[in-house]
Amino acid sequence: MFMDNKHEAGREAGREAGYETGVDHALETLRTRFARIGDVESAAGLLSWDRQTKMPPGGLESRAEQLSTLSRIAHEMTVSGETAELLEAAEAATADEPDTDDVALVRLARREYEQSVRLPTRLVTEMSRRTALAETAWAKAREESDWSLFAPHLEGIVELSRESAEHLGYEDHPYDALADLYERGATRRGLEAMFEELKQGVVPLLREVSESRAAGENDVRKAPLMGDFDETAQESFGERVTARLGYDLSRGRQDRAVHPFCIGFSPGDVRITTRFDRGWLSAALFGTIHEAGHAMYEQGVDPAYTRSPLGGGVSMGVHESQSRLWENLVGRSRPFWRHFYPELQRTFPGELGGTGPEDFYQAINVAEPSEIRVEADELTYNLHILLRFEIETALLEGSLSVEEIPAAWNARMEEYLGITPENVARGALQDVHWSAGLMGYFPTYAIGNVLSVQLFEAAKAAHPEIPEEIERGEFSTLLGWLRENVHRHGSRYTPEELVRRATGGPLDTAPYLGYLREKYTPLYGL
């Protein structure tokens, strides 16, 4: 999960405000304006990171007010008349320019302004305050498995999300307005079409896998992941692995949080968090690799884009493609563990001494329905996302109430995965996203899954040696291709443009579905 720090005419106007219309001056003044706005948002992001990792519980109320104040300041700076005049002057000055970085900066600044100006400062400030309180309430509710502790907070967030959608505007459904904040151009109808393609490909394959295995077979396969794994040793191993992948700890750090996330303030300061389960090795191991994938993206953005609208990942779908690529295409592959398994065995000799890399590969790729999204296998993962997408859609249109969420959640879990969560902590309370106000975010995980395969295949087409290098523990070629074709561009291009430039085509579920079948057919002897 990547935490974004942002809290969501003409030449004469520029002249009247006293701004010269020369290209250099207009752009520099606009760039400075948005750099200062970004500084305020980064300060808010740092306070949010501290709240989730280091802050004493007694600081919650004050921290909520601090964050509310910073979000108000950033929003007022963005929507001010001065910003509007600067934009108009810069647009007029670059009207005849080719599509350069400067022109892209102005275009992105305009998008940010237009989105922000539609939202009243009161609404932005209140959402910031409520989410700061809601995240702590969510953590307590999850710990105690008590939906009632979180429900009142979520009701307020849903109400504010509906209001935000109305202010932002949409043609078909309020979900369109919110999804567009995370994946430019995403709509409910488009997402429904993608999920339908995924269902058509995944459900029959999952059925084949389920019918192929004998009773208790998966329990035997998963045995290497279960035991008593010292948390400090898990943390150290994870840091060594992510450093080898390319996560630069001189520009980052790892901490602990209730729900793993990555947050970046600049390419020189990108932080990740992880949670640990002493009895289940997989959770922290792959959570750490996942968040490092986000972090490597942020660390790879062109430093020239720092403190500007061009900085940071272009969309959450593209961001998730990076985390899922490293977590799954690399981290759950045979070549990866042929290299790293001996080191993992030395780290946990008592638990793993009698197993080999193939045993571990089988264990980490078990396919079976599970309660927890972040622990789901690649085959069932998107069904978890579909469930959340449908619940969010129903919440926004008013056909589902907050009180009804746990029952609706369990019903969909039974329908899609054939299981019912043990309790609400392992059901509707398992994710932090709603408490953070991230309505419309979940589908980006499915988009990221699809894109991860397209990008990995494009990288291998350019460099067929990548699988062999992974087996040797070498990742510079893969990371270098991603740096060149994805990371360095920041938000310079639209998501669709970036994907076409990197892969030669648009988002396409076919390569992803082909990858799943190719992987799980031999795993389960289909």
> Rounded to an integer, what distance in angstroms lies between the CA atom of residue 209 and that of residue 211?
5
The catalytically annotated residue of 291, 327, 368, 371 is: 291
Sequence length of the chain is 526
Contact 143, 137 (CB under 8 A): no
Q: Which DSSP string do the residues of 117-151 spell out, in sequence order?
A: HTS-HHHHHHHHHHHHHHHHHHHHHHHHT-GGGTH
The first and second tokens of residue 262, run together, are 């990555």
Contact 397, 174 (CB under 8 A): yes
291 in active site: yes
Q: Which residues touch 180 (CB under 8 Å, ≥6 apart)? A: 168, 186, 187, 440
Give percent helix, percent strand, percent coil of the chain, each to the nearest 5: 70, 5, 25
> Rounded to an integer, what distance in angstroms lies between the CA atom of residue 431 and that of residue 65?
24
Q: Using N-to-C axis directions, what is the helix angle for 60-79 and 81-93, rounded to 10°?
A: 50
CA neighbours closer than 13 Å in the CB half-sphere of residue 286: 26
The tokens 């979520």 sit on which residue? 154
> Rounded to an integer, what distance in angstroms lies between the CA atom of residue 192 and that of residue 223?
37
The first and second tokens of residue 393, run together, are 């859609």
Q: Which DSSP helix (H) or strand (E) runs through 171?
A: none
> Rounded to an integer, what distance in angstroms lies between the CA atom of residue 428 and that of residue 418?
16
Closest C-alpha among 494, 438, 501 to residue 182? 438
The first and second tokens of residue 214, run together, are 């004998």
Range 396-405 contact pairs with CB under 8 angstroms and sequence separation of 24 or more: 396/158, 396/161, 396/162, 396/165, 396/173, 396/174, 396/175, 396/178, 396/439, 397/173, 397/174, 397/175, 398/162, 402/151, 402/154, 402/155, 402/158, 403/151, 405/147, 405/154
Contact 441, 486 (CB under 8 A): no
Q: Which DSSP string do the residues of 403-439 spell out, in sequence order?
A: GGHHHHHHHHHHHHHS---SSGGGTTTS-SGGGGT-T
Closest C-alpha among 465, 487, 478, 392 to residue 431? 392
> Rounded to an integer, what distance in angstroms lies between the CA atom of residue 111 and that of residue 104?
11
> Rounded to an integer, what distance in angstroms lies between the CA atom of residue 289 and that of residue 311?
23
Q: Which residues touch 452 (CB under 8 Å, ≥6 apart)? A: 320, 321, 322, 324, 325, 328, 329, 512
Catalytic residues: 291
